[in-house]
Structure 1
Amino acid sequence: MDRRSLLTGAAALGAGLAMPALAQDAPLKVGLILPLTGPFAAYGQQIEAGFRLYLERHGDGVAGRRIEPVVQDDAGTADTTRRIAQEMVTQGGVEVLGGFGLTPLALAVAPVSARAGVAQIVMVAATSSVTEASPMIVRTSYTTPQVTSVIARWMAGDGLSQAMTLVLDYGPGQDAEKTFARVFAEAGGTITESLRVPMQNPDFAPFLQRVADARPQSLFVFLPSGVGAPFLKQWVERGLDKSGIRLVADGSVTDDIVLPQMGDAALGLVTGLHYSAALPSETNRAFVTEFMERYRMRPNFMAVAAHDGAHLLFEALKKTGGDATGKGLVEAMKGMAFESPRGPIRIDPATRDIVQTVYMMRVEEVGGQLWNVPFHSFEAVADPGKA
């Protein structure tokens, strides 16, 4: 019976079958399923660039296997992501899956990776529960609560005792709202109101009017990458930048791929995130320099997560001797720790999630460009719901 028949039978029976390992001298196909068209195309571009840069820097061979990226565009549509993943593992000879620019895309593939026994490296999707959807998932990006909990602790420690929250109404946004409210309250703060903006064609005007009317001491904002610019534009147009309300945001609002074009509206904004292209370590400086020379754009947190995903795969294959069978590969990834451009990171063996430094940053103009400049760090942060 061939490999495709085995997998088809497994799916029909609802049982997981481990894929047979290929010969060690055969190419190891890594299926990168990315949004390369549509509104989230920039996500896919960053992920692909980060992964390919690792291969350029370190070579494409490891443990007798040559890594062969197989890139396909899902246009940010979950049904397409699932279909591509199924075809990759049953027909395309793909042994490892990676990418996943949004939570619904990662979750759509979770049943596929679980049934087929294929390692699934999540490089962006940040909803906390993603790793629980399949025992084959390992995450190299971050979780929203991991970052939001730090922002709430920092705000409370900086003398803020009252806050409103404004989030986009989808999985990570809901994670951010709940985590911020809980951690801020535990630190003695009070949440006066929580606002959820519909994800489809978000219009911030009515919500910012509610903020203006309420005049809270501070506002915490969570928005996905690419949505921050129109929010800040409306914030300034309504004069809220001069209202005395302290605005603090998740770092996706001033994501490195959009920050250079955001203009003065972003200056001085304080955010929290696990990566900034402005981190001053030699490891990061080398990464940013090579990335910008090769791709003519600034790397963001998605690019570094893909770069680290490639490193995690290489190191795991060294431990397995080139065997990419899912269960063994995932076991090899558990507990792995190394120095990333973002700082020290570790894969928690109990959760298959990442533990890392989270930075508080301020938007500043340096060398004629806007950068997220770190001013405080919280080390070895895990998802607070999993710690």
Structure 2
Amino acid sequence: MRLLPTALTLATALAAFTAIPAHAQAKLKVGLMLPYTGTFAALGTAIENGFRLYVNEQGGKLGGREIEFFKVDDESDPAKATDNVNKLIKRDNVDVIVGTVHSGVAMAMAKAAKESGTLLIVPNAGADAVTGPMCAKNIFRTSFSNWQPGYATGVVAAQKGYKKAMTITWNYAAGTETVKGFTEAFEKGGGKVVKDLTLPFPNVEFQALLTEIAAQKPDVVFAFFAGGGAVKFVKDYDAAGLKKTVPLMGSGFLTDGTLEAQGASAQGLITSLHYADNIDTPRNNEFRLSYAKQFKLQPDVYAVQGYDAAQLLGAGLNAVKGDVSQKDQLYYAMGKTVLPSPRGKLAFSAAHNPVQDFYIREVKGKENTNVGVAVKALADPARGCKL
């Protein structure tokens, strides 16, 4: 007779075990599709570091689930993007994809995510279409649209009283869309863009274009470059003697993560972005200290965007207790969350693009110093988005 309670106890325990949802047992598969080689390699590493930092702060889990990472180097090559993202979707069966930096690559990723229904969080690439015509309930961005930093910088340039501007960038989505944002705000503020200069990505032979700027003598030049290209452009601009005669302004990526390599050539440059190194809040100070301790590096905007990608995913997973199969509830929770980001309050538009403050930054020493707010709570117009 003593065996009966034991058998019942065993049966009860087995029933309880089998009642635990499968998602609570399995690791959450997170696919990182980022540039680990080439012009944007440092940016990809910073994004991954930021993402991992938040996961580590949560004890290695998000929504109660341990994380298993799958990594693909996208090489910033749009031609390889579809094959690369399908490695994560079809081969690795990931639950969520985090990527990428290059806007052309991100467009292919968004298309694949939309077709497969895989959750995609974009921690950098600003391609306007991702939260515009290609917007979807399963696509989120924790960075910016290309239009946003361009527009914010255009506001600042107009406020400074500049009337005649030239622009210069790579001839690809990120560059042309950022320039459009700048032009919209600058001309709304009473200025006129007299010429747009471009060169193929990732070409860094700037001399002929710098000669043209010197000949035209505009009141200001607006530039969009990032990574290694930004380093060379800023140094070449200075070496050509233009820094002393034609003020240079840019989207914040011109000087973010690049200051050490740019050296004296970057000093005094004015940019606008949704993050500045010296935002003096407990949240940002805590983030910067934690990042420096873990990675022995100072964080930049890319690290913040990766960190917030993990924060956003965690917020959604907490709402569904880790069950990613509850897609509608997951996406709803992610869209409605307001994150305590190192950059400040981070909300999301109906198109799942960040609504955030854009700062005026001046390069002082090795910091992009916050000297004011260009535009508060700037939302992308999400032209063409139908959700």
So what's the TM-score if we normalise by structure 2? 0.88
What's the secondary structure of 1:227's corresponding residue? helix
Matched, 1:333 2:329: no
Structure 2: gaps spanning 5 or more residues: 1-20
Query: Could you report, residue by residue, the CA deviation over 1:216-262 in whole angstroms, capped at 9, with x for unpaired residues?
Result: 1111111123322211222122211222x22111111111x221221
What amino acid is the match of 1:337?
A: V
Matched, 1:177 2:179: yes
Larger CA deviation: 73-82 vs 39-48: 73-82
Query: Could you report, residue by residue, the CA deviation over 1:105-142 in whole angstroms, capped at 9, with x for unpaired residues?
Result: 22122232122211100011112112343512100011
Matched, 1:346 2:343: no
Give distance in 2, aligned partners of 1:87 and 1:261. 35
Q: Where do residues 41-52 of structure 1 align in structure 2 (5 Å cutoff)?
A: 41-52=41-52
What's the secondary structure of 1:383's corresponding residue? coil
Larger CA deviation: 197-206 vs 353-362: 197-206
Residue 294 of structure 1, CA deviation: 1.5
Q: Where do residues 49-68 of structure 1 align in structure 2 (5 Å cutoff)?
A: 49-68=49-68
Give distance in 2, aligned partners of 1:51 and 1:341. 13
What amino acid is the match of 1:375?
A: V
Equivalent pair of 1:260/1:371 in contact (CA under 8 Å): no
Equivalent pair of 1:153/1:183 in contact (CA under 8 Å): yes
> Following TM superposition, where does structure 1 have runs of at least 4 consecutive aligned residues deviating by more than 6 angstroms?
none
Find the counterpart in structure 1 of residue 251 from structure 2.
250
Give distance in 2, aligned partners of 1:220 and 1:312. 32
Give distance in 2, aligned partners of 1:300 and 1:45. 11
Find the counterpart in structure 1 of residue 148 from structure 2.
146
What's the secondary structure of 1:334's corresponding residue? helix
Query: Could you report, residue by residue, the CA deviation over 1:124-178 in whole angstroms, capped at 9, with x for unpaired residues?
Result: 1112112343512100011121111111111111222221111221101111222
Matched, 1:309 2:309: yes
What's the secondary structure of 2:96's corresponding residue? strand
Give distance in 2, aligned partners of 1:120 and 1:385. 18
Q: Where do residues 11-50 of structure 1 align in structure 2 (5 Å cutoff)?
A: 23-50=23-50
Query: Could you report, residue by residue, the CA deviation over 1:183-221 in whole angstroms, capped at 9, with x for unpaired residues?
Result: 211111122222112224231111111110111111111
What amino acid is the match of 1:142?
A: F
What amino acid is the match of 2:193?
A: I
Give distance in 2, aligned partners of 1:263 and 1:276. 18
Equivalent pair of 2:277/2:370 in contact (CA under 8 Å): no
Structure 1: gaps spanning 5 or more residues: 1-20
Equivalent pair of 1:120/1:137 in contact (CA under 8 Å): yes
Residue 26 of structure 1, CA deviation: 1.4
Give distance in 2, aligned partners of 1:117 and 1:279. 37
Equivalent pair of 2:29/2:95 in contact (CA under 8 Å): yes
How many residues are matched? 360
What amino acid is the match of 1:355?
A: V
Q: Percent identity, aligned pairs only?
A: 32
CA RMSD of aligned residues (A): 1.9
Larger Rg: 2
Find the counterpart in structure 1 of residue 369 from structure 2.
373
Query: Could you report, residue by residue, the CA deviation over 1:69-124 in whole angstroms, capped at 9, with x for unpaired residues?
Result: 22222222334443233232333231111121211222122232122211100011
